[in-house]
Amino acid sequence: MVHPKLSYQRQKISADQYEEYKKIPSGTLFDALARKYLLWEEPFRRVLDDMAPPHYRWFVGGKLDVYHNILGKHLETVRRNKAALIWRGVNFEERIYTYQSLAYEVKSLINGLVHLGVKKGDRVLLFMPDLPETVISMLACASIGAIHVAYHMAYSAEALAQRLQHCRAKYIITSDGTHLRTRSLKGVVNEALERIDYDIRHCVVVEHTGQQVLMRPQRDIWYNNLITDPQYSREAIVDLVRSADEPLFMIYTSAKSKTPRGVLHSLAGYLMWAQFTTEVLFDLDEVDIFWNTSDLAWINGHTYAVYGPLALGATLFLYEGSISYENTQCFFDYLNKFHVTVLYTNPSLLRSVMRAKSTKRSLNRASNSLRLIGCGGEKINEDLYDWIQYELTNKRNLPIIQIWGQTETGGCLIAGVPGVLGFEDDTMMCPLPGVDARVVDNQGKALDGFVEPGRLVLASPLPSLLQDLYKDDVGYQQTFWKKFPERSYFCTGDGAYYDEQGNLNLTGRLDDILSTGAGRRSLDEIEETVMTMKRVRECAAIVIDHPVQGYMLVTYCVLYDFRDESYREKTLREIHEHIIEEIGELNLPDKIRFTKYLPKTPDNRINRDLLKEIALQMEGI
């Protein structure tokens, strides 16, 4: 796609300064960024300790206070009375927190958690909707030194139990329920706790919906009681100063292995990169309202809806629900009511809005406040790009940047940067300063030719990369660092190629993982779950391109007994229920098809390429 050159004047890091960053050696750059973005209680002695690769230690000897770096520093300025968080619930409830009031809430929860016994290194699992209390819980845990483990509330009790068993969390923070679904989140937690072989110490429950839930005496406590009861709310004596390379949080991500994959991120390197990339990509000023539509449980929510923007003193808009075709009206309501100026979202969401706007006459609306849009998770096609420019904003010169990052990278590494890359084509993407991204073949040899697809690797470590896989150091080394024995490359698992203009084009995952704006889903895990059903003989999950959704996940099933249509309809319902029960509704395929056989290769493997061609024809694409 080539579009008219766009003019954009940067507000923060100037174009000249950005170009200087690109010229600086990575070690010098990271040293400068760590001093710019982080407040140190004790200065670091060394930027990188690479004596035991691939276990890299960043900012060795340095110590810092997370609470002060995210919130406390703003209380010493006029920002203390600035809105930090504007929250809107799906039941139309609204809350606004200034930096002063948000800091007060975080301090209150720190006191409560410390008096419950939470200490540095403890795992605290968060199973919650997108509430202010979720943000507060993340920041309180990070301040104490407890490792917060956010897990999406759409997952099943079985999946939750597996993660609890793996990380052996001592504490859980959840809510009674959510207005998005009828099920009780506390009920899911209770069911998960019955499936593990140890006892947690406490479960803190936010009273959100008011529904009745089963609370076990001594173990379970209401969130509001924890922060107001004098037994817990009195000032706690706790040292908030932490070493730079301590773990900050853990996120579970999809993988081909049956063992849960817990990605650990370290403190200083992650916080530095979160702030740097937030400022580079979104160019947030004091008057901006920033809306990141990602769920807080994902890495994009952690980095670009909590740590990065709040550390920079930005104003965040947080919506409890998700935007879809059915509630598109809310999307325009919130953009205009709260005067959102910078939006970070994904193409799937925008395509849903585009489809709704074209079919619902009442949605003849646009946003006049947006000045910048960032998109991640998938590519933007020509139709969507034009729709954003001509119908979503009516501006026709709005910068639309594409962003690439992973759970394992902690944030964005490759993107278009407004105001510095020229915008002859604002879908262009290049590695950010300090990122040595390369495209190699299956043997690790660099591909010098243009438009020659290969594997995307990083030729040098970065402060934001995962610190380790929890309880799986062998998996950490084999998955990310040992693909090419003769070269110390970090393997992203994504494909890429350089075009003739020098832009880096991402082609998607090279494994059986579907990566979209809604997170990552393992096709192997979906197949294995369906195959545990007695009626299913064979199963194959595939991904095909879709003109509206971007991607479509289709699962083909061969049954032992085909029978009549009513039997197949009943089986379809049971497969849906089984997937939700075992691995959560986020893993539900878009379509489940029954067939009498699956196409096979000469060596009797499922011919997935042919199956994709069949699926495209069947879906009319």
CATH of the domain at 104: 3.40.50.980
Spatial CB neighbours of 529, under 8 Å, sequence gap ≥ 6: 578, 579, 582, 583, 587
Would you say the C-alpha torsion 116, 122, 123, 128 has a positive or negative sign?
Answer: positive
pLDDT surpasses 70 at 224:
yes
- Which helix (H) or strand (E) segment is 227 a member of? helix 223-228
Q: Are residues 153 and 264 in the same domain?
A: no
- Average the pLDDT over 589-606 and give the result: 82
- Average the pLDDT over 302-315 and give the result: 98
Examine the fold and report which residue of 462, 480, 511 is the final residue of a domain before the chain moves on: 511
Coil, strand or helix at 237: coil
Q: Are residues 238 and 252 in the same domain?
A: no
Q: Are residues 578 and 433 in the same domain?
A: no
Q: Are residues 493 and 531 in the same domain?
A: no
Question: How do residues 294-307 score in pLDDT, each as one tens digit?
Answer: 999 999 999 999 99
Asked whether residue 88 is domain-assigned, the answer is no
Q: Within its chain, how far is the Cα of 460 from the centroid?
A: 23
Asked whether residue 472 is domain-assigned, the answer is yes
Domain housing 178: 98-243
Question: How do residues 358-395 score in pLDDT, each as one tens digit?
Answer: 776 656 677 889 999 999 887 788 888 888 888 888 77
CATH (domain of 434): 3.40.50.12780
Q: Are residues 325 and 410 in the same domain?
A: yes
Average pLDDT, the chain: 90
Asked whether residue 206 is domain-assigned, the answer is yes
Q: Are residues 226 and 256 in the same domain?
A: no
Asked whether 118 and 545 are in contact (CB, 8 A), the reply is no
Domain count, the chain: 3
Question: How do residues 512-539 score in pLDDT, each as one tens digit?
Answer: 666 655 566 778 888 888 989 988 988 9
Q: Are residues 345 and 376 in the same domain?
A: yes
Q: Are residues 364 and 431 in the same domain?
A: yes
Asked whether residue 84 is domain-assigned, the answer is no
Asked whether residue 279 is domain-assigned, the answer is yes
Asked whether residue 408 is domain-assigned, the answer is yes
Q: Are residues 115 and 168 in the same domain?
A: yes
Q: Are residues 111 and 173 in the same domain?
A: yes
Neighbours of 559 (CB within 10 A): 17
pLDDT surpasses 70 at 213:
yes
Examine the fold and report which residue of 460, 494, 511 is the final residue of a domain before the chain moves on: 511
Q: Residue-wise over 562-577: b if at least 16 C-beta within 10 A, else e?
A: eeeeeebeebeeebee
| Whole-angstrom distance, CA of residue 193 vs CA of residue 162 | 10
Spatial CB neighbours of 547, under 8 Å, sequence gap ≥ 6: 383, 621
pTM of the predicted structure, to 2 decimals: 0.87
CATH (domain of 565): 3.30.300.30
Examine the fold and report which residue of 228, 243, 258 is the final residue of a domain before the chain moves on: 243
**What is the torsion angle, in degrees rounded to the nearest 10, for the CA atoms of residue 481, residue 483, residue 485 and residue 487?**
-60
Of 59-68, 396-405, 465-474, give the lowest mean pLDDT range: 396-405
Asked whether residue 312 is domain-assigned, the answer is yes
Q: Are residues 209 and 293 in the same domain?
A: no
Q: Are residues 122 and 137 in the same domain?
A: yes
The model's confidence at residue 155, banded by pLDDT at 50, 70 and 90, is confident
Asked whether residue 87 is domain-assigned, the answer is no
Strands (E) in 452-567, as ranges, are 454-458, 468-469, 490-498, 504-509, 513-516, 519-522, 536-546, 550-559
- Average the pLDDT over 445-473 and give the result: 90
